[in-house]
Structure 1
């Protein structure tokens, strides 16, 4: 059971995540087409770069932000990031050239505050309920995904890509206001790091179990961005009207949610994190194998089946990754560990967008093969991942 402080912190931070992720998901199902049609100088490779460039700066800054929050506290760092994200959204909304759009996306990524926010969730919750707290955060992300995917085709028809970025600006400013009015201060001040960032970073990188989680985050995010680059192109090529796309996106949400909640409960209650991870990876590998076959045979139905399988498997990892990262890091390096994790996740987004933009029009199934190779290496690492010791406090170490 959550305490009242935990409930308030989880609810308010989940709502902030909803605002930010709603804005990001709002452009995901239509970005590749709208950028091609509305932005001067757009090519598939540059559109892929613009789509993934958010992940580039987000990746590069997650470790410094996490370590910075360990030293000066979470709140000033999060405030700075939310303001920067809003500025990047305004620049993207005003862009008519693909290069200005890329710059706006880079600034949006520079304002991503995942590391300090995940660390703040850890500050506000006990280790034994942290996976459930992250599942609730994942639920907010899932809700934002469903609502954004449902609304995006309609909004895009009336307000275009620029209008979507103005909506993102408003949502980000609402998140900033909510952060200062509703997010509680932890009962106890989190342990602030006294060691240099380099020492904290070396401590985190030397832990092989954290390395496994970080590579898994990279592989999953790379696959997610690449598949969502493909999906609108595929739907358009097969005669789907933009106003009907919500049917696909909403069903993806429902399928993912039906798997995410029970798999998280099973992993936490039964302490079967490794088993859940391996099952999710096997489903991802199956999805990429089907995707490669469907790509070669130009089979739309099986390609959609592969995309559904991937998204269902992806949702297995969303709540358990951040929970395990905070469990396997000590109090002083928690923000740095979250920074490395989110660096990996956003680097995967950048790699997925760039790779998809380059390989999408290739007749051979190079894209699913590249994604499958990354998932296969994740499986090799996950097979040796130990389940954490139960109820170890304040810091849980692996068995």
Structure 2
């Protein structure tokens, strides 16, 4: 029998401080998601394509720099890279706050994303926790990301209603400065760095992770998920104003109940998957909910179907967001976990970028119909990929382990 030991005081402090740091940064990134489509529409140079690029720009710089900055943290230490990344986020926030055109917003968002410290924060978490506590610690940080997403969708419209879009970016900068303060005053300095394969990319395993079919399906899934999320937020804020008749400052009154109800809808799905062995069925159900949500949101003729579409989307999104990283971590051995999760995160951020940039271009060229066709087609491809014959790879093995 394996005895589970509680976290030490140092481990509890490390998890709490790093989860807080991660939350500050993710709140800043997510706050803009429900705002740009309505607040940037009147800016100089604004078009659906440029607004989409502004939404997704941070995803491109995140995808490109996540691994290099993680490697740099191995060479110079975790804290200098984290503080440098947060300062870059502050710079991006200031650039966006002063922007008088959509082009300035794009540059600011790209600079925000260039502070790509997610992999470094997780590496520091591994440095500060024992191996038997590491999975629990990373799960707690992962939960903080979900909470950050929900809080950001509520805070964004509230802050923007009071101080405008520039005020939101100033608030982003303050959160990043608060994050630096947390690093300097609350995050312990590790005596040694973790040497196992739980974090970081190992080049020798890169090819095996890239060619593994089960991991490839997971990478496609997270790309599709975040592509759809960013694309739909090109439409949702405008629909809440035009179809539901809500002032943009009170959009949070829709997001908050939808997020809370989505948790109530997601929990039974997770119970069915984990305790009753219906992982594949719940996975397909979540994709089906996302597929159903797309036309309900984009073509909603009235407020009620729009609200239903938002709710169904958040149920499917939250279920997938909680399930996919767990599946990836279970599909690989300890030595390949960091590499697999690094590739997975890169696909996630690249999906964010493509969802904004390509989604905005499609919306500008072909209107809502073309955007719906793209998101719906991606969901159908995702569904077919995981139907029997391409089933969810239940982790009976550890993929790249040699």
Q: TM tier, shorter chain?
A: 0.7 to 0.9
Q: Report the alpha carbon displacement of residue 67 of structure 1 after superposing the two structures with TM.
A: 4.7
CA RMSD of aligned residues (A): 3.3
Residue deviations 1:230-280 (CA, integer Å, cap 9, x gap): 111111212211232121011122023334555556655667654543332
Q: Report the alpha carbon displacement of residue 30 of structure 1 after superposing the two structures with TM.
A: 1.6
d(CA) in 2 for partners of 1:164, 1:211: 37
Does 2:187 align with 1:174? no
1:255 maps to 261
| Structure 1 runs, 4 residues or longer, greater than 6 Å off | 395-398
Instruction: Determine which of 347, 355, 358 is the counterpart of 2:350.
Output: 347
Does 2:87 align with 1:80? no
Question: Residue 50 of structure 1: SS of its match in structure 2?
Answer: helix
d(CA) in 2 for partners of 1:70, 1:375: 38
d(CA) in 2 for partners of 1:108, 1:377: 32
Does 2:248 align with 1:242? yes
Does 2:228 align with 1:223? yes
Q: Which has the higher contact order (CA 8 A, sep 6+)?
A: 1
Residue deviations 1:353-396 (CA, integer Å, cap 9, x gap): 1233233364562222211222233233434332224xx9xx78
d(CA) in 2 for partners of 1:325, 1:73: 27
2:314 maps to 311
Q: Report the alpha carbon displacement of residue 340 of structure 1 after superposing the two structures with TM.
A: 1.2
How does the TM-score come out when normalised to structure 1? 0.84
Question: Residue 105 of structure 1: SS of its match in structure 2?
Answer: helix
d(CA) in 1 for partners of 2:80, 2:55: 28
Q: Which runs of 5+ in 1 are unaligned?
A: none
d(CA) in 1 for partners of 2:132, 2:228: 30
Cα distance change on mapping 1:119 and 1:328 into 2, 3 Å? farther
d(CA) in 1 for partners of 2:236, 2:33: 10
Q: How many residues align?
A: 388
d(CA) in 1 for partners of 2:196, 2:283: 32
d(CA) in 2 for partners of 1:127, 1:324: 19
Q: Which piece of structure 1 moves more, 365-374 or 226-235?
A: 365-374
d(CA) in 2 for partners of 1:278, 1:70: 39
1:60 maps to 64
Q: Which runs of 5+ in 2 are unaligned?
A: none
d(CA) in 2 for partners of 1:175, 1:185: 15
Question: Residue 40 of structure 2: SS of its match in structure 1?
Answer: helix
1:109 maps to 113
Cα distance change on mapping 1:197 and 1:387 into 2, 3 Å? closer
d(CA) in 2 for partners of 1:48, 1:348: 12
Question: Residue 360 of structure 1: SS of its match in structure 2?
Answer: helix
